[in-house]
Every structure is written in C-alpha cells, then in structure tokens.
C-alpha cells in the first residue's frame, strides 16, 4: 500500500528519529535523499520510513554507522547467503560481552569504594583513590 508523501516532521514522529538526525543520515548517504517540493521541502515515501526504521533499530542495538551501512547493503541482495550478517552480529556480540565484563568490574570497584569512606574529606578513601593509579588497569574496548 502506497502512502502519500510526508514531510520530515511526520517522518520523525513515525520513526522516533530526531529531525537533525534524519538530515545527518541524508548527508552521509545512509538515507536516500527524498524528492522535494517546488518550495524545497523534503517529501518522504514509504521506502524512507522503512529504511529509517532499519537504521534506528540497528542504532538501538548498538551497531556503528558503518555496520548499518554494510547491513543495508546486504539487505538489498536478498538472494545472497547471510554469513556476512552473522559475522557482523557475532563480532558485535563479542564487543558487548567485553563491555558487560568491564561494567561488572567497574561496579565491583565502586562498591568497594562506597564502603571505605571516613567521616571527613581528609579521611575519605573515595577522594584518595581517585587520585591514585588503578589497582589493576582495565583495558577499554575499542
């Protein structure tokens, strides 16, 4: 079913994507440029809504713009094997697992700090520990 063309405000409302973000996605060619009225106003179609929903869901899942671009390219080849998509998701999942492990470690460090405070700032081990090197350096995921 083909819907009438909509403006950027309506597109934003339907997809939950900020207007400036929509314009950004157009500038970087993640979202195709829409037709324009004689007055220069953008006029979006169903294909823009669907693509923007795809992008939004990918961003919600934490995929980078480059990964979303690659997944969009794959989506345009429906007869191709989906092994590349599987690899991208597996790689992203590994990164998420590393971040979770990092956050669990951070939570434990903060819990230890919380129970170590003196009664005045001069005795506060929280303040003291922030100025000291970490007990075991954490590697940040790239």
What pLDDT is stored for residue 117 in this prediction?
67
What pLDDT is stored for residue 101 in this prediction?
97
Tell me the pLDDT tens digit for each residue of 22-74. Answer: 999 999 999 999 999 899 999 999 999 999 999 999 999 999 999 999 999 99
Angle, helices 65-75/46-60, rounded to nearest 10 degrees: 130
What pLDDT is stored for residue 135 in this prediction?
66
Tell me the pLDDT tens digit for each residue of 88-121. Answer: 999 999 999 999 999 999 999 888 887 766 677 7
Phi first, then psi: give them for residue 54, nearest 5 degrees: -60, -50
Give the CA-trace dihedral at 57, 59, 65, 71, to 10 degrees. Answer: -30
What pLDDT is stored for residue 3 in this prediction?
65
Q: What's the rounded Cα separation, in Å, for the pair 62 and 71?
A: 13
Contact 56, 14 (CB under 8 A): no
User: Average pLDDT of 67-90?
Assistant: 93
Q: What's the rounded Cα separation, in Å, for the pair 37 and 98?
A: 48
Give 86's Cβ-side CA count (13 Å radius): 4
Which CATH architecture best describes the domain 1-80?
Answer: Orthogonal Bundle (1.10)
Would you give the distance in Å from CA 37 to the centre of its chain?
A: 32
Q: Where are the domains of the chain?
A: 1-80, 82-142
What pLDDT is stored for residue 122 in this prediction?
77
Q: What's the rounded Cα separation, in Å, for the pair 51 and 32?
A: 9
- pLDDT band for 133, please (50, 70, 90 cuts): confident
Total-model pTM: 0.76
């Amino acid at each position: 079913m083909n819907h009438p063309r909509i403006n950027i405000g309506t597109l934003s409302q339907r997809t939950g994507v900020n207007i400036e973000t929509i314009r950004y996605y157009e500038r970087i060619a993640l979202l195709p440029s829409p037709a324009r009225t004689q007055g220069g106003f953008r006029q979006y179609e169903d294909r823009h809504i669907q693509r923007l929903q795809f992008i939004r869901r990918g961003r919600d899942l934490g995929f980078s713009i480059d990964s979303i671009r690659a997944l969009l390219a794959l989506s345009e080849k429906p007869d191709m094997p989906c092994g590349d998509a599987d690899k991208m998701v597996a790689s992203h999942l590994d990164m998420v697992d590393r971040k979770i492990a990092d956050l669990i470690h951070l939570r434990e460090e903060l819990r230890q700090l919380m129970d170590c405070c003196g009664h005045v700032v001069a005795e506060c081990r929280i303040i003291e520990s922030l100025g000291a090197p970490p007990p075991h350096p954490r590697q940040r995921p790239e």
